Amino acid sequence: MIARGFVENGAKTYISSRKADVCDQVAKELSAHGECISLPADLSSQEEITRLAKELSARESALHILVNNAGAAWGAPFDEFPETGWDKVMDLNVKSMFFMTQALMPQLEAAATADDPARVINIGSIDGIGIPRMETYSYPASKAAVHQLTRVLAYRLAARNVNVNAVAPGPFESQMMAHTLKNHGDQIKASVPRGRIGRPEDMAGVALYLSSMASAYVTGVVIPVDGGSLIAK
C-alpha cells in the first residue's frame, strides 16, 4: 500500500521481502505505475540486513525515506505460548528495525538537510497501544516497543536531520490479517466507528504526509490509522 503510494506519486521506490519471487512480482506490478525495484532480503538475519544495506548503497548514494515494515505475529493461549513465538516476533519486529535503520544511516544522512530531513517511518500497530482481541502476547509487546523505539530514535537522530515517526494501523487487508478478517471480518468492521476496514489509500496517505514537507517539523509521533478503533474501546 505504501510502496504503491510512493510509486504513483513519482518516487523511485525499492521494496524488500524474504520471498524473492513475491518481491519481484510486486515490483513488476508496481512498475506499471512508476519506478519500483525489488531487492529481496530476509531481515530476520543480521547478515541479510547488512547485505541489503550494501546492495542499496551500491545503487544509491542517498536515501530520503526508509519504511521499516518487516514483521511477524504469533498466536497461542497464555499457558501454551512458546519461547520461539516470543523470540521470533520480538527479534524481527523490534531488533531488525533498529539495525536496518542503523545500517542505512549514512544514506539517510546523505539525503538529509535541516529544512528537509530524511524520514524513517516505522510500522507499529494499535495493538501496541490498546489491548488486542487475539492471544498474540509477543506481538503487542513488540509494537509497543516499536513505538517507544521511534520516540528514542527521533530524539537521538534529530540533530542529524532525520525525522523518525511511526504509523499504528488498525484493521487493513494484509497478508497478516487475512485469516482474522476471513473468520471475524464482519465483527471487526462493526467494531470500527468508521464502519469499514482500512483501504490502501488510507495507509498511503499517511505515509505520503510523513514523507512530505508538510511533516518536516514532525518527529517522534505515533499516528493511529484505525478508523477510530482505539477510541471505541
- 115 by Cβ neighbours in 10 Å (0-12 / 13-18 / 19+) ranks as exposed
DSSP state letters, 37-103: EE----TTSHHHHHHHHHHHHHH-S--SEEEE---------GGG--HHHHHHHHIIIIIHHHHHHHH
H/E stretch holding 145 reads helix 138-157
Catalytic residue among 14, 137, 139, 155: 139
CA distance 212 to 191: 32
Count H helices, E strands: the chain?
A: 9, 6
Task: Tell me the residue type at 183.
Answer: N
Is 217 catalytic? The answer is: no
Task: Tell me the residue type at 139.
Answer: Y
Active site residues: 139
